Amino acid sequence: MGVLRSDKLRAAAEAHVPATGDALVVVVVENAAEAFAAGLAVAKNWPLYTRKTGGERDERTVYVDFAVADSSEVDYEELTKVAKAVRDTQRRVDTAPCELTTSIYVAEAQALVERLDDPTVSITIIQGEDLREQGFGGLWGVGKAAEFPPALVVLSRVPETVEKTVALVGKGIVYDCGGLSLKPTASMTTMKSDMGGSAAVLGAFEALVTTGAAPTTAVHALLCLAENAIDAKAYKNDDILTLYSGKTVEIVNTDAEGRLVLGDGVAYASKHLNPDVVVDIATLTGAQFITTGTVHAAVLTADEEVEAKIVAAGKTTGDLTYPMIYAKELLMPQFESKVADMTNSVKDRMCASSAAAGHFVEAHLDAEFTGAGKAFLHVDIAGPSMSAGRATGHGAALLYQFTKNF
């Protein structure tokens, strides 16, 4: 997809398109702000990943331009870079799980850092047995049965002057069969998308670095990568895992694995990265479909200012969100265990279970991550991450805009 930058380029495209079969899309908008969301929406319609052969492949270049009613200036450079990051997010989510194992995903993150070639950007990888030895009981427990090892990947952009720090934590279950609590076939299909949160985090990080947005904000992108698989080493219902937070979790459903890896992720972020806000994003619960539907992500936070900012970021980018109830004192008892600090699944699925899952993740923040100026935000994108069998890239532009405005 190409984005046009002038009338001269549009004229050239108009002359070029009829001869090549390429396409020109002109979007009419009221102002430049509308062009941002509209441009991202158009970009999502031409996903990158396909394994179709022959004549079914669409090899066209699609040129996009805007007719702006109030003559305000569209920032084509920002739009182009964010659109690329969103389409990269779609590609990762659409990719077949045999082509995006945890090890390949780690290599892709490393390749992105090399491509960015920015002295403020670095990467830390904790993988395989090192996770177990360092106390990441969630990531290790969920991922130890798979052919390829689980990993925590931390990409960081730390500018010379830091005024704010944002930690973005993404669920990266590259495939989720449910573990020993095995999903039925109909529910298992499309579970390649269970890494959509990590893909959104990686896409947002790419966009923030390439655009130079939020130049005095340190950004840490944490990818919690594992495959929820079955073999002799698979974790079991009745197991008790000790997460990086030090809290113990009784397993009552191996298919509630995302919150376990996120628990490790937010614990690490809040303990070591000194963030002002920790944001986790995940395709976490089926209950999110019921809570906010297939277009709006569900968000949970105790901070009204942060809630307003994530809702505003959704309206700016088209990655819409809507708040869930915040009721920790009512919902955390749903995880009561007789033998551990908590279970990993609610007793009553009809009792705000999507919000409860967010509180579970929140429970693993470091004890010192508290007080004024510290905020936690949970984003569940289970519904809006896919549409008609294809990835939407939901979350990448959302996190970009939220961080830019934080």
Residues classed as catalytic: 183, 259
Query: Which residues face 24 on adjacent strands?
Result: 63
Question: Could you give the angle at the alpha carbon of 307 between the alpha carbons of 303 and 311, nearest 5°?
Answer: 175
In whole angstroms, give the CA distance from residue 342 to residue 364.
11
Q: Give dist(CA 288, CA 352) in Å, integer.
A: 9
* 183 closest CA partner among 253, 235, 231: 253
User: Do the beta carbons of residue 405 and residue 307 sit within 8 Å?
Assistant: no
135: left (phi over 0), alpha (psi -120 to 50) or beta: left
Enter the tokens of residue 223. Answer: 């990818």
The rounded distance, in Å, linking the Cα atoms of 130 and 174 is 20
Counting every residue written for the chain, the total comes to: 406
User: Where would I find the beta strands (DSSP E) of 161-317?
Assistant: 164-176, 217-228, 240-242, 248-250, 277-282, 297-300
CB 399 within 8 A of CB 204: yes
395 in Cβ contact with 288 (< 8 Å): no
In angstroms, the CA 340 to CA 122 distance is 37
DSSP string, 61-127: -EEEEEEETT-PPP-HHHHHHHHHHHHHHHHHHHS-TTTS-HHHHHHHHHHHHHHH--TTEEEEEEE
Residue 101 CA to residue 125 CA, distance in Å, equals 15
Q: Which residue has the tokens 């998308």?
A: 193
